Structure 1
Amino acid sequence: MTSVNGQPRLADRVQGGWLGRIAGNMLGKPVEQGEVWTRDRIDRYLRQAGALPLTDYLPEPVGDSDRLALRPEWRGCVRGRIDGSCRDDDVDYAVLGLHLLETHGFGFTTEQVGDLWLLRLPYLQTFTAERAAYRNLANGLKPPLTATYDNPYQEWIGALIRADIHGWTCPGAPGRAALLARRDAVLSHTGNGVYGAMWAAALISAAFTAPTVREAVEQALAVIPASSRLARIVRRVASLHDARLTWEETLATVSEETAGLGWIHTVPNAAVLTAGLLYGDGDFTRTITLTVRGGLDTDSNGATAGSVAGVFGGASAIPAQWTDPLRDTVRSAVFGFDGVRISELAERTLRLAGAPA
């Protein structure tokens, strides 16, 4: 039995968060390159394969041009070929975050986050702001200088993708989740990069108890500065949704308003993610497929959308086509965790979620 009075139990929600993150990541991974895989091209790909509306993992490419444009890992991420999860940094950081909390508890320091990176995470499996921070750590710099020295990626999406564990372990406590995520994020990010991590952690935390996804989005907005560019774009998407614009119209509008920031910047990706959540309205499949079809950093956005939707509805509400191919197995670059069971990660996370602050 997974629910009481129709509400998923905490264990089911935590399991849903892990499964949702991994499934959403796998869905978006083949088309993760925003300047190549635009919204129009993703939908054209799906239309040619007869896969619209999208209700499963991406189909195999129909033509050679699309096949060559996909990420090299696509063969392990498309429907019919998946046998356990593919390794990806969007999942590695969730695993590493779990290890952080198990090792140091909720009182961890930013310096301890950096120490675990050096001990457990291969340098070549880091990217953008995380790689800059890793290099700075190896050269002896300390936070917050690790985030600011020779790092042009300070407001990119990397810190946001590290935030899930803080939401999963702080169910219904978005403020606390945001503070933990901030302590992690400042190792490598500043400004909207840090706000993105705080917002995502709070959003996932709120999804445990909020009556609607929209309410979870509103609760998450409360933890970041109202005047920040991130808060403004999230409110903008919500207002367009309230005005009954279509999903396509909303994304076209915010795409114009965030032009020039690049496909890995936190702000435009938060717009795509918010649109997927609001127009998905709690339905797991619709949420992750709309989010990935939105383009930009597709695997990161799909992962976070899947985490929120997975927590909101619980693992029991995730259709089997998303979970069965994962074989309850995680591939990870984090030393000591490759091949770990998803169910084991969820159980370990649940123990932390029930631990005193």
Structure 2
Amino acid sequence: MTPVRTEPGRADRPAPADHPATADRLLGGWLGRIAGNMLGKPVEQGDLWTRDRIDRYLRRAAALPLTDYLPEPVAEGDEDLPELRPEWRECVRGRIHGSCRDDDIDYAILGLDLLETHGFGFTTEQVGDLWLLRLPYLQTFTAERAAYRNLANGLKPPLTATYDNPYQEWIGALIRADIHGWTNPGNPRRAASLARRDAVLSHSGNGVYGAMWAAALIAAAFTAPSVRAAVDTALTVIPASSRLARTVRRVVSLHETGLPWEDTLTTLAEETAGLGWIHTVPNAAVLTAGLLHGDGDFTRTVALTVRGGLDTDSNGATAGSVAGVLIGAEAIPRQWKDPLEDTVRSAVFGFDGVRISELAERTLRLATLPG
């Protein structure tokens, strides 16, 4: 399915939100995010499940090339590999009946509730208020948990992000950004502005830039003529001198030379060494490589991104969101969307068991609202 364009080569002008293709793309974004998250969840521990170990697991299960959800562990021969996450029984092929709960999906739902409750003029303080109202403390992690604790102790933004929070540049704000891209189809700058207002509750620096970049990337995917065009457009909303921007440009330049995906990730792993497996910058490198080498093919995009390691479920979710928007729900292969059974599990109060199609319809209503 060829992306809808407003003008040839442009990815920075609003898409018609009432166009039938936009509804299909929004559903594609939700389905893609959930499917990509489910694909990566069993191996979400980047310090243990390295790229090499993920591929060893897949080879032992005769699952390379990866074209479906992860297979169950083989009966023998896995003694030298880490255990899968405990949730694997709900996330591997043949066992999936609706999505399992995960914070990567919870934050997309919470973002939808934020915009429905407060509109596009929401404040960072209102983001925090909604967390306290809707989100259980023990279902938050790293920077979000630090910010939640600070909120509960009476601190206000931006102190909620900077006080006693060593995770300010980790990936948490990036995984909250999809809703701002989905509700601003073809308008990456507005999407980035909203994502920034959300992100500063818990993050600073490259943590905030990651949210802005991801929101712009998803918004651009509605009208971009190619994945590369969406990536280029997303780079325009963050400081060119930031480490995030420099790393994404590095992946783009290596892709232009024809360097294979594996060698690209090896190079970037060396250049981002020491940042940790949940930091925004190395994960953005894995995500960008998956998007560029996937080149609009949904299966290849999410498979390469998850095989890239690090924060596999978060990267798989964002890659699936971008690819789902690019091609639309109808074009997502059935092995990814049918097991989801149009159902989401969520820790967000009032949303457990909600239909994916309902979430997409509610997102479309927001996307059609005037700025």
TM-score category by the smaller chain?
Answer: over 0.9
The answer for the alignment partner of 1:49 in structure 2 is 61
The answer for the alignment partner of 2:26 in structure 1 is 14
The answer for the alignment partner of 2:221 in structure 1 is 207
Q: Secondary structure at the match of 1:236?
A: helix
The answer for the alignment partner of 1:256 in structure 2 is 270
Runs of 4+ in 1 over 4 A off after TM superposition: 2-5
Q: Give deviations 1:137-157, integer Å, cap 9, x for gaps.
A: 000000000000000000000
Q: Give deviations 1:216-268, integer Å, cap 9, x for gaps.
A: 00000000000000000000000000000000010000000000000000000
Q: Give deviations 1:190-222, integer Å, cap 9, x for gaps.
A: 000000000000000000000000000000000
Consecutive unaligned residues of structure 2, counting only runs of 5 or more, are: 6-18
Q: Does 1:319 align with 2:333?
A: yes
Q: Give deviations 1:68-89, integer Å, cap 9, x for gaps.
A: 6110100000000000000000
How many residues matched? 355
Q: For residue 105 of structure 1, report the CA deviation from its aligned partner.
A: 0.1
Counterpart contact for 1:171–1:205, Cα < 8 Å: yes
The answer for the alignment partner of 1:273 in structure 2 is 287
Q: What residue identity is the alignment partner of 2:71?
A: P
RMSD, aligned α-carbons: 1.5
Q: Secondary structure at the match of 2:145?
A: helix
Consecutive unaligned residues of structure 1, counting only runs of 5 or more, are: none
The answer for the alignment partner of 2:342 in structure 1 is 328
Q: Does 1:345 align with 2:359?
A: yes
Structure 2 residue corresponding to 1:286, chosen from 294, 300, 313? 300
Pair 8,261 (structure 1): closer, same or farther in 2 beyond 3 Å:
farther
TM-score (norm 2): 0.94
Identity %: 85
Q: For residue 65 of structure 1, report the CA deviation from its aligned partner.
A: 3.2
Q: Secondary structure at the match of 1:118?
A: helix
Q: Does 1:114 align with 2:128?
A: yes
Pair 4,302 (structure 1): closer, same or farther in 2 beyond 3 Å:
closer
CA distance in 1, matches of 2:62, 2:273: 31
CA distance in 2, matches of 1:339, 1:322: 19
Q: Give deviations 1:24-76, integer Å, cap 9, x for gaps.
A: 00000000000100000000000000000000000001145378611010000
Q: Secondary structure at the match of 1:166?
A: helix
Structure 2 residue corresponding to 1:61, chosen from 49, 73, 85? 73
Structure 1 residue corresponding to 2:192, chosen from 172, 175, 178? 178
Q: What residue identity is the alignment partner of 2:55?
A: D
Q: Secondary structure at the match of 2:79?
A: helix
The answer for the alignment partner of 1:308 in structure 2 is 322
Q: What residue identity is the alignment partner of 1:321?
A: Q
Structure 2 residue corresponding to 1:138, chosen from 152, 155, 170? 152
The answer for the alignment partner of 2:10 in structure 1 is none
Structure 2 residue corresponding to 1:27, chosen from 28, 39, 52? 39
Pair 202,3 (structure 1): closer, same or farther in 2 beyond 3 Å:
closer
Counterpart contact for 1:32–1:297, Cα < 8 Å: yes
Q: Does 1:297 align with 2:311?
A: yes
The answer for the alignment partner of 1:196 in structure 2 is 210
Q: Secondary structure at the match of 1:209?
A: coil
Q: Secondary structure at the match of 1:65?
A: coil
Q: Secondary structure at the match of 1:330?
A: coil
Counterpart contact for 2:4–2:223, Cα < 8 Å: no
Pair 292,3 (structure 1): closer, same or farther in 2 beyond 3 Å:
closer
TM-score (norm 1): 0.98
Counterpart contact for 1:27–1:292, Cα < 8 Å: yes
